[in-house]
Chain A
Amino acid sequence: MAIDKNILTYEMDGDVAVITMDNKSESTNLFSFDFISSFIEAANELINNDSVKGIIIQSAKSMFMAGADLKQLEKPITDKEEFLNNALQMHKSFREIEKSGKPFVACLNGHTLGGGLELALLCHHRISVNNPKIKIGCPEVKVGLLPGGGGTIKIPYLMGLQNGLMALLQGTEHSPEKALKSKLINEVVEKPEDLIPAAKKWIAENQSPVQPWDNKKYRIPGGGVMSPTGAQVIMGGIGNLRKLTHGNYPAATNIMSVVYKGLQVPIDRALEIEARYFTDTITSKEARNMIRTGFLGITAAKKGVARPKDEPKYEIKKLGILGAGMMGAGIAYVSAYAGMDVVLKDVTKEGADKGKAYSEALVKKRVGRGRMTQEAADALLSRIHTTADPADMEGCDMVIEAVFENPDLKATVTKQTEAVLAADKIYASNTSTIPITLLAKASERPENFIGIHFFSPVDKMPLVEIIVGEKTEDKAIAAAVDYVMAIRKIPIVVNDSRGFYTSRCFGTYTSEGLFLLDEGVPPVMIENIAKTKGMPVGPLAVSDEVSLTLGLHVMESNPDLEKDASMMRNFKITKMLVEEHGRKGKKEGAGFYDYPENGKKRIWPKLEEIFKSDVETMDKETVAKRLLHRQSLEAFRCLDEGVLHSVVDGDIGSVTGWGFPIYAGGALSYIDFVGMDQFVADCDAFKEKYGPRWTVPQSLRDLAAAGKSIHDYEVKGKMAAASA
Chain B
Amino acid sequence: MAEAYIYDAIRTARGRGNKKGALIGITPTQLATQCLTELREKHDLKTEMVEDVILGCVSQVMDQGANIAKTAAQQSGYGDHLCGVTLNRFCGSGLEAINQASAYVKSGFSQLLIAGGVESMSRVKMGSDGGAMMMDPAVAMPGHTIPQGISADLIATKYGYSRQDVDEFAYHSQMKAVAAEKAELFKSRIPVKDVNGITVLAHDENVRASTTVEALSGLQPSFAMMGEMGGFDAVAIDRYPELAEINHVHHAGNSSAIVDGAAIALVGNGEAGKALGLKPRAKVLAMAVYGTDPTIMLTGPTPASEKALKQAGMQASDIDLYEINEAFAVVPMLMRDNLNIPMDKINVNGGAIALGHPLGATGCILMGTLIDELERQDKKTGLVTLCIGGGMGIATIIERV
Contacts and interface: CB of A to CB of B under 8 A. Distances in A.
A528 B136 contact: no
Contact of B141 (A247, A602, A603): A247
A238 B244 contact: no
Interface residues of B, number: 25
Secondary structure class of chain A's binding surface, majority of residues = helix
A253 interface: yes
Given A242-B144, A247-B142, A524-B241, A260 B137 contact: yes
A529 B235 contact: no
A239 B137 contact: no
Contacts of B146: 239
Nearest to A614: B242
A525 interface: yes
Interface string A225-252: 1100001001111111111101100000
Contacts of B335: none
B238 A242 contact: yes
A257 B140 CA distance: 10
B237 interface: yes
B238 to A, nearest CB: 5
A532 B242 contact: no
Given A242-B235, A247-B141, A253-B141, A236 B241 contact: no
B137 A241 contact: yes
A253 B138 contact: yes
A524 B237 CA distance: 10
Looking at A231, A235, A238, A257, the one whose CB has the most chain B CB atoms below 10 A away is A238
A239 B138 CA distance: 12
Interface in A650-688: none
Contacts of B140: 235, 238
A261 interface: yes
A532 B232 contact: no
Contacts of A243: 231, 234-235
A615 interface: yes
A247 B144 CA distance: 9
Contacts of B242: 522, 524-525, 528, 615
Interface in B238-288: 238, 241-244
A238 B241 contact: no
A643 B243 CA distance: 39
Looking at A239, A247, A524, the one whose CB has the most chain B CB atoms below 10 A away is A239
A242 B130 contact: no
A236 B137 contact: no
B141 A238 contact: yes
Contact of A236 (B136, B229, B244): B229
A246 B130 CA distance: 24
A241 B134 CA distance: 13
B145 to A, nearest CB: 8
A704 B138 CA distance: 33
A498 interface: no
Interface in B99-145: 127, 130, 134-138, 140-142, 144-145
A239 B237 contact: no
Nearest to B136: A260
B134 A235 contact: yes
A615 B242 CA distance: 7
A121 interface: no
A620 interface: yes
Nearest to A255: B137
A25 B316 CA distance: 78
A257 B241 contact: no
Contacts of B229: 236
Interface in A506-541: 522, 524-525, 528-529, 532
A603 B244 CA distance: 9
B230 interface: yes
Contacts of A602: 244
Contacts of A253: 137-138, 141
Interface string B316-354: 000000000000000000000000000000000000000
Contact of A242 (B136, B138, B231, B244): B231
B225 to A, nearest CB: 11
Contact of B235 (A226, A239, A257, A261): A239
Nearest to B137: A256
Nearest to A603: B244
B299 to A, nearest CB: 16
Interface in A126-182: none
B137 A231 contact: no
B135 A235 contact: yes
B142 A257 contact: no
A147 B254 CA distance: 46
Contacts of A231: 127, 130, 135
B22 to A, nearest CB: 26
A244 B230 CA distance: 11
Interface in A15-61: none
Contacts of A246: 238
A226 B137 contact: no
Contacts of B145: 238
10 contacts: A231-B127, A231-B135, A236-B229, A236-B230, A238-B140, A239-B235, A241-B141, A242-B235, A243-B231, A243-B235
Given A226-B130, A239-B232, A256-B141, 17 more contacts: A225-B135, A231-B127, A235-B230, A236-B230, A238-B135, A238-B137, A238-B141, A239-B235, A240-B231, A241-B141, A242-B144, A244-B231, A246-B238, A253-B137, A525-B241, A525-B242, A603-B244
